[in-house]
Amino acid sequence: MTDPRLIRISELIELKADGQYGLAEINQRQHALQAAWLAERQGCPASLIAAALLHDIGHMIHDLGHDAAENGVDDKHEELGYEFLASMFGPDVTEPVRLHVAAKRYLCAVEPDYFGRLSRDSVVSLSLQGGPMSKDEVAEFEAVPQYRDAVQLRRFDEQAKVKGLQTPPASHFLPYVEEVILPA
């Protein structure tokens, strides 16, 4: 791995992801690895596995601390992550990252039982992020070509909060990232 962009991504995951993931009993790295592992185990394409690994990278690059939502702050990590990744990846990776918060709002609007399955920290952040989508917002969301991948990523995001779950290390998932990174 000689591409400095891949090295930077690897360093963020290995060195900046020790903070607790919201109110879950895991850290950011464990959450990222669990999400990527879920995508891999489901046979998703490399782009969605990479997006799953990187979906919360915005949390790793901001300086708002690990409990911004608990402090009443929407850290807009999805936008920060999108901006960080946009020069390195195409929309098959960046759009699910950008839209994974909107996908939570979408699922709360279109699946009556989805809200009840949210973790406590996801409920707290949902209120900061605008709550369930309106009908117009649902239509706008569904008009984005990658919305289905964003919804799938959201489902991985919600499932990737298991304390003590053994996953492959970050190095296992970096070939997927390398496969979809844009030429330098």
More confident residue, 25 or 94: 94
Residue 31's domain comprises: 4-180
Average pLDDT for 21-31: 77
Q: Check pLDDT > 90 for residue 17.
A: no
Helix spans in 55-169 (H): 57-61, 77-85, 91-110, 114-117, 120-128, 135-142, 147-159
**C-alpha–C-alpha distance, residues 118 and 122, integer Å:** 6
pLDDT in tens, 136-168: 999 999 999 999 999 999 999 999 999 999 999
What percent of the chain has a predicted confidence (pLDDT) above 90?
67
Residue 112, number of CB atoms within 10 A of its CB: 8
Domain count, the chain: 1
Threshold 0.85, pTM exceeds:
yes
pLDDT in tens, 50-102: 999 999 998 888 554 555 445 444 467 889 999 999 999 999 999 999 999 99
> How far is C-alpha 116 from the geometric centre of its chain's CA atoms?
20
- CATH code of residue 48: 1.10.3210.10
